[in-house]
Structure 1
Amino acid sequence: MTTTAASTPTDLEAFRVELTGYAYRMLGSVFDAEDAVQETLLRAWRGRDGFDGRSSLRTWLYRIATNVCLDLLRGRGRRALPVDLGAPSAPVAASLGTPAGDWVEPVPDAAVLPADPAELAVARESVRLAFVAALQHLPPRQRAVLILRDVLRWRADEVADLLDASVPAVNSALQRARATLAGVRDGRPDLGPALDPADRDLLDRYVDAFARYDIDALVALLRDDAVQSMPPYPMWLRGAAEIGRWLRGPGAGCRGSRLVRITANGGSALAQYRPDPAGGHRAFSIQLLDVSGGRISRLTHFLDLRLFARFGLPPHLDS
């Protein structure tokens, strides 16, 4: 067998993070993305004799990853954020019913972001929760074209070769994808960028108020038009006053919670542990906060407990 760059699992493994970032943007799920990358590397290893070196190893792997993602997306509905769904939930008390829908999931920074500082700023913006949710509105091939061209900065001829398409077809798909994405953003409330790690004061005050369960202090940190959602439940609330009522009512079980700081989707995030009647605190949600104008504009609580292991967190904290 001719020795190539694709000859060893170690060489392939070097691409895991960037491939996971690509698959996450395509699929909107950290679990699906990791499965897709694992399948990509497995196919590459099994098909290494077919890699003839005419393209780079990176291009070859992206071709396989794109085909894997397109296969997974075939026939599947798009993932969304609750805020995409229209009117706020009503009545609020009915919102914690049966989980429904496939929601865009948070992702640990370490799983998808490059180590190179020169690439980090652009990569962080392209894994923001709102951006990944907006991508899910695009048809799969348009989604791939937009990510490859506008996020990863591939040339049109490179994308055309990867997708077995013509350059005019790629350029046309990119124009349609950009137009659709602009329409999605125009139709969504102005939620601002995700909370940056530099916004330590706002995050500190939020953590302190939540730990004390001081609802007045929490509400004071929110924009008047702030929204709150709790995937996978089909509920979202609009308005600081409405969120405050929820926290005093159905959400009162969060009193006494412990918050652990993490990073997700290019910004600061929190892991929430609620009091466990048996002692200590049990995993409850991963919280992502968006900020605008120095106040919190969105609170997204992800109640999928599988996420805790993915973030390297235990399911339970001792007292």
Structure 2
Amino acid sequence: MVFDMSQHTVRQVVVKKAVDPAESEWLQQARAGDTSAFDQLMKPYRKLLHTHCYRMLGSPFDADDALQETLLGAWRGLGSFEARSSLGTWLNSIATRICLRMSSRRPRRLASGDLAPPLRSTAELGEPVQGPVWLEPMPDSELLYGGAPNEDPATILLRREYIGLAFVAMLQHLPGTQRAVLLLREVLGYSATETADILGTTVASVNSALQRSRQTVKAKKPATVQSREMLQVDAQGLELLLHAFVSAWESRDVTAMVNLLADDVRFTMPPLPAWFSGREFVGKFFAERVFETPWRLHFLRGNGQPGFACYLKQAGDDRFRPGGVVLLSVYNGHIAAIDSFLDPAVCSRFGMRDEFH
């Protein structure tokens, strides 16, 4: 079963780590008003909290805001922290409540398939849908999904699944409380009692929300599971596939590109509402629109997935300029999804250069 949360709980080891003597000293100094000690105290938790906020909100930019509010709330409330729970649990409680408040005031982040059906014609792609509407990717460098040093590969890949685009997109279909319960119970590994304490509710309510969230996960599950797929693709095979993808794109070879695509491949491109589904129509989009201009692709990673910074050269220009960030999903040795993000803010987040020759 895809995203079978009941059987594959992944615990973030930093949440319930042993007490660090240095942490106790920093805590004491921070309570006395030492901001440097507070920064040291928060340092091991920042990426964990940021990743949690990203899963909750579906946007790295919203997660930035939530993280800053969390740190501010922790600084203001440090005097009331009585260490009855771990510092990580206390911080996750603050972050979760902030994310719930933010999500109640903002529209949920959408994937292309949530907004419109796929197109069959490439003539008109529609106007960009602006605003805090779209699910957005996160660079791997900003995400936490590691575990113990000697963890088995299957568990490591499952951790990666829990920050994948498909999983984060699925989470956005859950009401805020169900989203929080699913993440706290099944990803961060809290007990029902701990989760109830974090959310200020009852164990019965937590169990009910978890059951409902699992039903939605089952209904919204994607056709493939990237963690399982990646277990079947060795590093060399994946490298060859990605190299062939770059070669086909940069040489604008439609036949070579189509041969790399799965039968049910999809190509999305927010903030444009247009998207294409199936090898025939994705191939048509490449032939009639994408390959009208020269491109250069540079490798990157986001959401635990391979991808590329894509630069294009418009007619009359002598330089390549940012065209978008692309993340790939792989199925059975083929490209199953090409999720392209055209927002300049996303391009900047992934470190794309303004131009190059």
When the two structures are superposed, what TM-score results if normalisation uses the length of structure 1?
0.91
Question: For the structure 1 residues 181 and 10, does the alpha-carbon distance in structure 2 shift closer, same or farther, using more than 3 Å as the test?
Answer: same
Query: Is it true that 1:221 corresponds to 2:260 in the alignment?
Result: yes
Select the residue among 268, 271, 282 that pairs with 1:232.
271
Give the stretch that moved more between structures: 193-202 or 305-314. 193-202
Instruction: Give the Cα separation in 2 of the matches to 1:222 and 1:165.
Output: 47
Judge conservation of contact 2:69–2:98 (CA < 8 Å) in 1.
yes
Judge conservation of contact 1:4–1:53 (CA < 8 Å) in 2.
no
> Which residue pairs with 2:33 in the alignment?
none
When the two structures are superposed, what TM-score results if normalisation uses the length of structure 2?
0.82
> Which residue pairs with 2:27 in the alignment?
5
Give the stretch that moved more between structures: 190-199 or 234-243. 190-199
> Which residue pairs with 1:151 in the alignment?
187
Instruction: Give the Cα separation in 2 of the matches to 1:10 and 1:36.
Output: 19
- Once the two structures are TM-superposed, the CA of residue 178 in structure 1 deviates from its matched residue by 0.4
> Which residue pairs with 2:96 in the alignment?
66
- Once the two structures are TM-superposed, the CA of residue 307 in structure 1 deviates from its matched residue by 1.7
- Once the two structures are TM-superposed, the CA of residue 44 in structure 1 deviates from its matched residue by 0.8
Select the residue among 104, 110, 131 that pairs with 2:135.
104
1:70-219 to 2 correspondences below 5 Å: 70-85=100-115, 87-99=117-129, 102-116=133-147, 117=149, 118=151, 120-185=156-221, 190-193=223-226, 196=230, 198=235, 199-219=238-258
RMSD: 2.1
Q: Specify the SS of the correspondent of 2:301.
A: strand
Instruction: Give the Cα separation in 2 of the matches to 1:297 and 1:3.
Output: 50
- Once the two structures are TM-superposed, the CA of residue 313 in structure 1 deviates from its matched residue by 2.9
Consecutive unaligned residues of structure 2, counting only runs of 5 or more, are 1-23, 31-37
Question: For the structure 1 residues 210 and 91, does the alpha-carbon distance in structure 2 shift closer, same or farther, using more than 3 Å as the test?
Answer: closer
Judge conservation of contact 2:145–2:163 (CA < 8 Å) in 1.
no
Judge conservation of contact 1:192–1:291 (CA < 8 Å) in 2.
no
Select the residue among 34, 38, 45 that pairs with 1:15.
45
> Which residue pairs with 1:55 in the alignment?
85
> Which residue pairs with 2:310 in the alignment?
272
Judge conservation of contact 1:308–1:315 (CA < 8 Å) in 2.
no
1:275-286 to 2 correspondences below 5 Å: 275-276=313-314, 277-286=316-325
Instruction: Give the Cα separation in 2 of the matches to 1:315 and 1:151.
Output: 37
Give the stretch that moved more between structures: 270-279 or 220-229. 270-279
Judge conservation of contact 2:329–2:337 (CA < 8 Å) in 1.
yes
1:25-40 to 2 correspondences below 5 Å: 25-40=55-70
Instruction: Give the Cα separation in 1 of the matches to 2:158 and 2:91.
Output: 22
Q: Which runs of 4+ in 1 moved over 4 A?
A: 194-197
Question: For the structure 1 residues 163 and 64, does the alpha-carbon distance in structure 2 shift closer, same or farther, using more than 3 Å as the test?
Answer: same
